């Protein structure tokens, strides 16, 4: 059986990546494809527990290296439990964040550097890379505004607190944003960058175009 296709969505919180992942999944389902959807951190019972620790704003004392190690612990479990079994079964996997997020947030935002993250990736993930990464990069200001507004709404509705990263200063997010741009330039063959303050429909059109093209190319190999 041919191996499946691994697609990741990246970007700052508030960039619209989760919305676009769901819209792509619906687009695929209407065409008879049944993608496996997951997220990081989370997506497994172990990962969901790690997610609570990582995103709860009460955990501000978490050391950057501990934060990165927890991200990779979550990722290792997701690969073993969800991603690799689905790819081995020939399915398309749509994942909300992967190692690019760790490189951007911990490598860039926390100042740990890319080398430490990529070394951990090789060891923990066995070098597993997405076939396609869709990087959504609206303006920094609009992303932060949407993310903070969303977290306030979710906290009010569910009592869940996932705003630890949104509590960081803007300088942190500028470093994250710059690192994402660096990743896109370095891995241009894998990463499709959709930049600017576009409408949801405009972004969806570019997402679908990129996915359809890459899946067609992969089927020819």
Average per-residue pLDDT for the chain: 91
Confidence check: pLDDT of 153 > 70: no
Closest listed residue to residue 126, CA positions, set 173, 83, 169: 83
SS3 (DSSP) at 194: strand
Task: State how far the Cα of 48 lies from the Cα of 19, in Å rounded to an integer.
Answer: 20
Residue 88 has what pLDDT? Answer: 96
Give percent of the chain with pLDDT exceeding 70. 91
DSSP 89-154: TT-EEEEE--HHHHIIIIIIISS--HHHHHHHHHHHHTT---SEEEEEE--HHHHHHHHHHHHHHH
Where do the domains of the chain lie, and which CATH numbers do they carry? 5-220 (3.40.50.300)
The closest alpha carbon to 170, from 7, 12, 27, belongs to 12
pLDDT in tens, 76-99: 999 999 999 999 999 999 999 999
Half-sphere exposure of 65 (CA within 13 A, CB side): 1
What pTM was estimated for this model as a whole? 0.91
Closest CA to 183 of 126, 123, 121, 125: 121
pLDDT at site 216: 76
Q: How confident is the model at residue 50 (pLDDT cuts 50, 70, 90)?
A: very high
Q: Distance between the two ends of the chain, CA-based, in angstroms?
A: 14
What pLDDT score does 221 carry?
A: 55
Over residues 143-153, the mean pLDDT reads: 72
Query: What's the average model confidence in pLDDT over 62-66?
Result: 94
Confidence of residue 127 (pLDDT cuts 50, 70, 90): confident
Q: Of 53-57, 69-73, 104-108, 187-191, which range is least confident? A: 53-57
């Amino acid at each position: 059986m041919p191996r499946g296709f691994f697609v990741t969505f990246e970007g700052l919180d508030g960039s619209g990546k989760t919305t676009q992942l769901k819209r792509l999944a619906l687009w695929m389902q209407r065409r008879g494809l049944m993608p496996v959807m997951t997220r990081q951190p989370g997506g497994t019972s172990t990962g969901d527990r790690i997610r609570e620790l990582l995103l709860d704003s009460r955990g501000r004392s978490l050391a950057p290296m501990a934060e990165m190690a927890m991200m990779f612990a979550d990722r290792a479990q997701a690969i073993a439990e969800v991603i690799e079994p689905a790819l081995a079964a020939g399915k398309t996997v749509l994942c909300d964040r992967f190692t690019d997020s760790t490189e951007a947030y911990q490598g860039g935002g926390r100042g740990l550097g890319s080398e430490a993250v990529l070394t951990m990736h090789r060891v923990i993930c066995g070098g597993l890379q997405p076939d396609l990464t869709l990087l959504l990069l609206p303006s920094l200001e609009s992303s932060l505004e949407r993310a903070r507004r969303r977290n306030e709404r979710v906290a009010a509705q569910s009592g869940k607190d996932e705003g630890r990263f949104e509590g960081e200063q803007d300088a942190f997010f500028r470093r994250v944003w710059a690192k994402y741009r660096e990743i896109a330039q370095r891995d241009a063959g894998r990463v499709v960058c959709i930049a600017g303050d576009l409408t949801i429909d405009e972004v969806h059109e570019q997402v679908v175009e990129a996915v359809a093209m890459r899946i067609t190319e992969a089927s020819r190999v």
